[in-house]
Chains A and B, each alone.
Chain A
């Protein structure tokens, strides 16, 4: 049973703070890891992808992957009210399965002005 676990939140942070979102996964064969942002009533929007251990930075976003601990996280620096959304962690075995994604339940982030 492939599982991806996230704290459902809501995670509330003040504007300008760092928001830290966490995700664990059960399948050690997982190769690709994604963070999607989903605003209410909208489809998921890809924020970050990460494939190897360590950190990957893109603007205010940093994804961290630790395959030994089966843990992936997303840090949002200088959080803005517009970052308020549900963040979905998704994992893929990749390879022949392509990007068939298993999603976590999502963490709702609230950034307060």
Chain B
């Protein structure tokens, strides 16, 4: 299974600022995904990050608020822009293999608190 390193593991940020979360995979993967887990809730997909193209966002999430980079097959970043307290969540990246039926594994998550 892939090993996914995500950082920072947690941060406390002032409203109006931005935070960039990094996700590094120890092997080349075709797709990477960013999820949000609000307090007491399950995971919701934010976007799919493909290498060499713009990310594909799910309903309710926009590029201006959550810009994503995917410069190569092992790395991706998610930025939470112009933060408000409602953005306080755990943000998780996951990586997918290039073959069908490869399980998705998660990074350790970033616990974000906006004050």
Q: From residue 4 to 63 of chain A, which have CB atoms closer than 8 A to chain B?
A: 31-32, 34, 41-46, 49, 51
Given the known A-B contacts A43-B109, A44-B43, are A98 and B92 also in contact in the complex, defined by CB atoms under 8 Å? no
Q: Is the CB of A98 within 8 A of B96?
A: yes
- B105 part of interface (Cβ distance < 8 Å): yes
- Interface size range of chain A in the complex: 20 to 34
Q: Is the CB of B30 within 8 A of A44?
A: no
User: Bound state CA distance, A103 and B38, in angstroms?
Assistant: 13
User: Bound state CA distance, A92 and B106, in angstroms?
Assistant: 15
Q: From residue 84 to 104 of chain A, which have CB atoms closer than 8 A to chain B?
A: 88, 90, 92, 94-95, 98-104
- B11 part of interface (Cβ distance < 8 Å): no
Residue of A nearest to B41 (CB): A105
Residues from chain B with a CB closer than 8 A to the CB of A42 are 108-109
B91 vs chain A, min Cβ distance (A): 10
Q: From residue 62 to 113 of chain A, which have CB atoms closer than 8 A to chain B?
A: 88, 90, 92, 94-95, 98-106
Q: From residue 27 to 81 of chain B, which have CB atoms closer than 8 A to chain A?
A: 30-31, 33, 35, 41-45, 48
Q: Is the CB of A98 within 8 A of B42?
A: no
Residue of B nearest to A101 (CB): B104
Given the known A-B contacts A43-B92, A88-B42, A105-B41, are A98 and B31 also in contact in the complex, defined by CB atoms under 8 Å? yes
Residues from chain A with a CB closer than 8 A to the CB of B103 are 34, 46, 49, 99
User: Bound state CA distance, A59 and B33, in angstroms?
Assistant: 29
User: Bound state CA distance, A103 and B101, in angstroms?
Assistant: 17
Residues from chain A with a CB closer than 8 A to the CB of B45 are 100-102
Q: Is the CB of B33 within 8 A of A43?
A: no
B71-115: CB near A (< 8 Å → 1, else 0) gives 000000000000000000010101010001111111111010000
